[in-house]
């Protein structure tokens, strides 16, 4: 199931417009804040599909029968670009466990590249609700590899894959290579073009550099 | 139109359960944080009903046709209990204008009380989209008086009245005394009982005291 | 005792430079964030002069003898301009009680104005450590009146008066009209000029308008 | 030069007491918030030693001669435990570049372990002011290795090493293995004991687990 939040206008559209804008994005504080708020919005929208149980809560004045979250949430993200959206997710799911994973493009001498995992920190994912977020779903290869690596730590009950901007190609690859039944896809917007260097166009540029500065 | 967000479970239910809980609410940092997050969620849900216009945004890699918010938002709140939810609203509508209003209960010697306005700071509301928030809609009298006082500053295009917990009586009064067409009501939960001292039961207690400490 | 934090350069100087800058201050999110961070910095610097007691804390691995704050803090602020700095103060003193006070200039038909209190919410201040913050100490009259009104709720053990920018005249008035022994003054910067309309020059403009938008 | 902020009581002492407390630390939101606030305090204290230049700033009412930060800051941290303090650092140095590095303990079959670098993302550090933070300086080996790896990206003008809790042994190793002249050490507290498994006692437990949950 694919949910494209940007199809209907909301504050997410406003934040996305600022994140894309090559002048506004020069303000790193606002750029990161926008990714955080977008992480919060995704967290909230995803929470509508989660499991709750009702409990009797003692207020100072009486007893309220109130729903509380019963799923065991794990928030996974891909370094370093995913960190601001992850911060937003964790602002909203403050009791969650967390998984961090880094992947890099290993360029081949003959051209092209492979995605390799280098860092991974994850709890057991058995029976968890896994939410993996990354600002961009470009070729989709990082997300696919991250997913495959993560589920070695146990089988989640359900996985939510979150990206702010996806390419058609990235969505196609995720749908092709990952199991359909257990996975929901949450997107902000879908852009048409993917360059040969796997940049989304019009996209937003390099989310990691814009949030944290260039790396060598 | 009345929208009760708590009818369907989401993170708002989780935060509301913590806010109601007489043990958890002792942690003022979490209590205020929960009200802030709830303010953010209401801001986001309300934003789905606002007006947007599309603009061409220059990204580092191309041009994106993207919706941006076109309504002129004014965030009003009632002191002091409304401040944490207002902070959340302003976190999400960061460009908004703001109105602050304070009302107090003037107890009559013969029993009963009137609501009086003492402090008010507001921009012109002409053609604005006004969002007034208060954690509790108990008797409804503060909200009704705040609305009537605010619109002396001009006629909003539309008004959104927001309360985390409302009593049936409060809703009834707002619907009776305020114009139906121009107003949407957004609630987290509706509780049945209203005491003679205008406390909602089971409610959460005194939101102002829980956020900021007792006042003399 | 007067402490002028801006005498020695630190991040406070950086934030103050952004707050003063007529272009940068157009970004309300950053303007409020800067006031919040400045509130946090004042809170931290003031905390160095507070009272602590040592307690044995059980860690997962042993026992640590650790200092914890023992003063009863009340954070007072003047509406509406003081709210962002107050938010910063409360971010750092998260367990504090809070006092809100509003004052307005009542202009006399014959010219000049008096400062009047209209809204006040405060706990008992008996034996408290009171910290009153306001971005600007211009004529000093609002702060003096706020102080006098607040201490009707009991005598604080000590009071810290905090302003980001003060005029020489404002400092003089506070020192003249308020008791010296029980009060410490904390400033970011001191500007020379005070206009006849009681604006500080070069100052920063109207802190309330810049944070929250114009009011009618 | 070693600066131990906890030698004099301040809000840092309060946050450290909560972070150490095995009951309070169960609230991950507060635990991370405390590490963030501590990151902000270190950022502010370090900023007092940085370079500033004065600029003429146009305010709405005049011209202010105001100091602005002139050093090029790079905020480095060690994954994953360092992330919350890094968030605090970045809250205060919002324009900084950032470096992330992960190190792990590779246990030898015959006992003991080596620290290995697996992930690193860093800008050029030539002429930068580098601030590397990690909650714990236990054996000191991760910090030493991180430093050595980072400076392959260029020679910083000065490096600030930050840890909330250090062991005597960790300090000794850093001083022995890293150049003295170019490095300042900033600590919250120094604990006496280091276990054979390189845990600090009394310490606080495992900062990464407490912030983000166990990892497998």
DSSP A69-95: E-S-EEEEEEETTTHHHHHHHHHHSTT
**Average pLDDT of span C62-85:** 97
CB-CB neighbors (< 8 A) of B87 in chain C: 87
Shortest distance, CA D7 to any CA of chain A (angstroms): 32
* pLDDT tops 90 at residue B117: no
> Does residue A121 sit at the D interface (CB-CB below 8 Å)?
yes
Handedness of CA D117, D123, D126, D129 (dihedral sign): negative
Residues 171-200 of C with CB under 8 A from B: none
pLDDT of residue B114: 81
> Does residue B21 sit at the D interface (CB-CB below 8 Å)?
no
A204-214, pLDDT tens digit by residue? 999 999 999 99
pLDDT of residue A135: 97
pLDDT of residue A114: 81
**Average pLDDT of span C17-28:** 98
**Domain D2-50+67-212 bears CATH identifier 3.40.50.2020:** yes
pTM over 0.90: yes
pLDDT of residue B110: 84
pLDDT of residue C87: 98
For residue A209, which phi and psi values (nearest 5 degrees)? Answer: -65, -40
The full length of chain B comes to 216
- In this complex, the residue of B21, B193, B199 whose CB is nearest that of residue A58 is B21
Mean pLDDT value across chain B: 95
CATH number of A2-51+69-212: 3.40.50.2020
**Average pLDDT of span B12-33:** 98
Topology of domain B2-50+70-209, CATH? Rossmann fold (3.40.50)
* pLDDT tops 90 at residue A130: yes
CB-CB neighbors (< 8 A) of C11 in chain A: none
Determine what percent of chain C is predicted with pLDDT higher than 70.
Answer: 100
**Average pLDDT of span C20-42:** 98
**Average pLDDT of span D12-30:** 98
pLDDT of residue D105: 77
| Better-predicted residue by pLDDT, C113 or D185 | D185
B176-188, pLDDT tens digit by residue? 999 988 999 999 9
Token digits of residue B110: 């013969």
Q: What is the DSSP string of D71-127?
A: S-EEEEEEETTTHHHHHHHHHHSTT-EEEEEEEEEEE-TTS-EEEEEEEEE----TT
**Average pLDDT of span C71-84:** 97
3-class DSSP state of A138: coil
Question: For residue B177, what are the CA distances in angstroms to A143, A167, B141, B181?
Answer: 54, 51, 10, 12
Could you give the ipTM of this predicted complex? 0.95
**Average pLDDT of span C192-203:** 92
pLDDT of residue D190: 97
B35-66, pLDDT tens digit by residue? 999 999 999 999 999 999 999 999 999 999 99
Q: What is the DSSP string of A11-79?
A: HHHHHHHHHH-TTGGG-HHHHHHHHHHHHHHHHHHHHTTS-EEEEEEE-SSSEEEEEEE-S-EEEEEEE
pLDDT of residue A10: 98
- What gap in Å lies between CA D36 and CA C40, rounded to an integer? 12
B75-94, pLDDT tens digit by residue? 999 999 999 999 999 999 99
* pLDDT tops 80 at residue A105: no
Contact B80 C98 (CB under 8 A): yes
Determine what percent of chain D is predicted with pLDDT higher than 90.
Answer: 89
Q: What is the DSSP string of A171-212?
A: HHHHHHHS-STTEEEEEEEEESEE-TT--EESS-S-HHHHHH
pLDDT of residue A180: 87
pLDDT of residue C117: 86
Shortest distance, CA A127 to any CA of chain B (angstroms): 20
* pLDDT tops 80 at residue B105: no
Per domain, the residue ranges of chain D are 2-50+67-212
CB-CB neighbors (< 8 A) of A29 in chain C: 30, 33
* pLDDT tops 80 at residue C105: no
- What gap in Å lies between CA B164 and CA C168, rounded to an integer? 46
Contact B98 C216 (CB under 8 A): no
Class for the domain spanning C2-50+69-208: alpha beta
Determine what percent of chain A is predicted with pLDDT higher than 90.
Answer: 89
* pLDDT tops 80 at residue B129: yes
Shortest distance, CA A155 to any CA of chain D (angstroms): 14
| Better-predicted residue by pLDDT, D104 or D98 | D98
Determine what percent of chain A is predicted with pLDDT higher than 70.
Answer: 100
D27-71, pLDDT tens digit by residue? 999 999 999 999 999 999 999 999 999 999 999 999 999 999 999
pLDDT of residue B180: 87
């Amino acid at each position: 199931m694919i949910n494209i939040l940007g199809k209907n206008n909301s504050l997410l559209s406003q934040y996305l417009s600022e994140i894309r804008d090559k002048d506004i994005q020069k303000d790193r504080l606002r750029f990161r804040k926008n990714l955080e708020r977008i992480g919060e919005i995704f967290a909230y929208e995803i929470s509508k599909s989660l499991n709750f149980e009702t409990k009797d809560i003692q207020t100072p004045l009486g007893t309220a029968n109130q729903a509380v979250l019963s799923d065991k949430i794990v928030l996974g993200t891909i370094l370093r670009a995913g960190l601001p959206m992850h911060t937003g997710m964790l602002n909203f799911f403050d009791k969650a466990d967390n998984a961090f994973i880094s992947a890099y493009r290993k360029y081949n001498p003959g051209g092209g590249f492979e995605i390799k995992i280098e860092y991974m920190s994850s709890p057991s994912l058995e029976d968890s609700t896994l939410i993996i977020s990354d600002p961009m779903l470009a070729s989709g290869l990082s997300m696919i590899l991250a997913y495959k690596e993560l589920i070695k730590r146990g089988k989640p009950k359900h996985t939510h894959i979150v990206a702010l901007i996806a390419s058609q190609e990235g969505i196609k690859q995720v749908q092709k290579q990952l199991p359909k039944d257990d996975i929901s896809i949450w997107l902000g917007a879908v852009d048409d073009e993917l360059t040969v260097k796997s940049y989304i166009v019009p996209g937003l540029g390099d989310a990691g550099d814009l949030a944290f500065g260039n790396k060598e």
